[in-house]
């Protein structure tokens, strides 16, 4: 099992933003976290990234209990990476942004260059190596952020609403990249979204959150349509 959460609570002041008696996530899958604003999706994602400590309860990662007091939390952080909804680019070039996690991991200069070129090609941003990262559009920033996350060679990538503020072209590109990351690089993917269609298209499993709790979802009608009789009397479904 990739993650197991037991009796997990996160409380800010007097507000309980997460209250999860039990949640488990299998490795190697694409998991969607669905829920309205304020459901606790981002908070849960930050728990998965070991950036936020639960107020109470346990987080288990690959069969080992996560201890935020322990110095080894940084080692865990290097195995999981989060791509935020509005990713932050450091105010240097695209190349330097991608180089940051590689430098931290003490990758040789020659290998760094090779990895950067490969990743920029993967996200379709090959010509942007020397561009100033903070001058990119929303969709381009998102793609560079994905490349930078992949430079970490993570076991898990967490996306916080990866296509929330991008155009259709970038949305298609990002969805393709997410599939490739999962299928070709065998990286587990967890992402939050409001878009049920997207969740249905991309995920192996969907977790519904509502007001910080797991919500049971019946089969959702994500398309609207009517059942109409056909020319020979057989029924057919007319969408829209």
Partner 1 sequence: MQFLLDSFYSALLLLWSVNPELVNVVSVSLKVSSSSTIIASLVGIPVGFLIAFREFPGKRLLITVLNTLLALPTVVIGLFVYAFISRRGILGVLNLLYTQKAMVIGQVILIVPIITVFTISAISRIDERYRKTAMTLGANALQTAWVIIREARFAIMAAVIASFGRVIAEVGISMMLGGNAKGFTRTMTTAMALEYDKGEFVLGVALGIVLLAISFGLNIFFNYIQGRARV
Q: Which stretch binds partner 1 (CB under 8 A): 2-10, 32-40, 55-63, 70-78?
A: 70-78
Residues in the chain: 240
162 counts as binding partner 1 under rule CB under 8 A: no
Which residues in the 139-158 window bind partner 1 by CB under 8 A? Answer: 148-149, 152
Pairwise CA distance, residues 65 & 68, whole Å? 10
120 counts as binding partner 1 under rule CB under 8 A: no
The nearer residue to partner 1, 19 or 47, going by C-beta atoms, is: 47
Pattern of binders to partner 1 over 90-109, x per CB under 8 A? xx--------xx--xx----
43 counts as binding partner 1 under rule CB under 8 A: no
Q: How near is the Cβ of 34 to partner 1 at its closest, in Å?
A: 22
Under DSSP, the state recorded for 93 is B
Pairwise CA distance, residues 69 & 143, whole Å? 34
Q: How near is the Cβ of 74 to partner 1 at its closest, in Å?
A: 6
Q: How near is the Cβ of 10 to partner 1 at its closest, in Å?
A: 16
The nearer residue to partner 1, 84 or 198, going by C-beta atoms, is: 84
CB 46 within 8 A of CB 190: no
Pairwise CA distance, residues 229 & 240, whole Å? 16
Count CA within 13 A, CB hemisphere, residue 39. Answer: 17
Extended beta strands in 55-174, E state: 56-61, 64-65, 80-83, 156-160
Torsion of CA 43, 49, 50, 51, to 10 degrees: -60
Beta strand 235-239 with 225-229 is antiparallel
112 counts as binding partner 1 under rule CB under 8 A: no
The nearer residue to partner 1, 50 or 198, going by C-beta atoms, is: 50
Q: How near is the Cβ of 168 to partner 1 at its closest, in Å?
A: 26
Q: Which stretch binds partner 1 (CB under 8 A): 7-15, 16-24, 78-86, 169-177?
A: 78-86
Beta strand 80-83 with 156-160 is parallel
Name which of 146, 149, 193 is nearest 173 in CA terms.
146
Residues binding partner 1 (CB under 8 A): 46, 49, 51, 74, 77-78, 80-82, 84, 86-88, 90-91, 100-101, 104-105, 132, 148-149, 152
């Amino acid at each position: 099992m990739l993650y197991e959460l037991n009796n997990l609570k996160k409380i800010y002041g007097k507000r309980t933003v997460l209250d999860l008696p039990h949640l488990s996530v299998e490795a190697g899958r694409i998991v969607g976290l669905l829920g309205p604003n304020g459901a606790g999706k981002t908070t849960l994602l930050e728990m998965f990234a070991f950036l936020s400590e639960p107020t109470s309860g346990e987080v288990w990662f690959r069969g080992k209990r996560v201890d935020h007091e322990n110095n080894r939390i940084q080692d865990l952080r290097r195995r999981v990476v989060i791509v935020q909804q509005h990713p932050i680019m450091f105010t240097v070039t695209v190349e330097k942004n991608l180089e940051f996690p590689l430098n931290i991991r003490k990758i040789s200069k020659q290998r760094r260059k090779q990895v950067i070129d490969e990743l920029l090609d993967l996200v379709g941003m090959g010509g942007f190596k020397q561009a100033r990262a903070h001058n990119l559009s929303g969709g381009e920033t998102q793609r560079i952020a994905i490349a930078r996350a992949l430079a970490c060679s993570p076991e898990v990538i967490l996306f916080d609403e990866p296509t929330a503020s991008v155009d259709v072209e970038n949305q298609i590109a990002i969805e393709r990249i997410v599939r490739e990351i999962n299928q070709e690089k065998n990286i587990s993917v967890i992402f939050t979204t409001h878009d049920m269609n997207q969740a249905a298209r991309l995920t192996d499993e969907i977790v519904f959150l509502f007001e910080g709790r797991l919500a049971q979802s019946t089969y959702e009608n994500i398309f609207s349509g009517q059942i109409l009789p056909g020319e020979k009397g057989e029924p057919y479904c007319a969408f829209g």
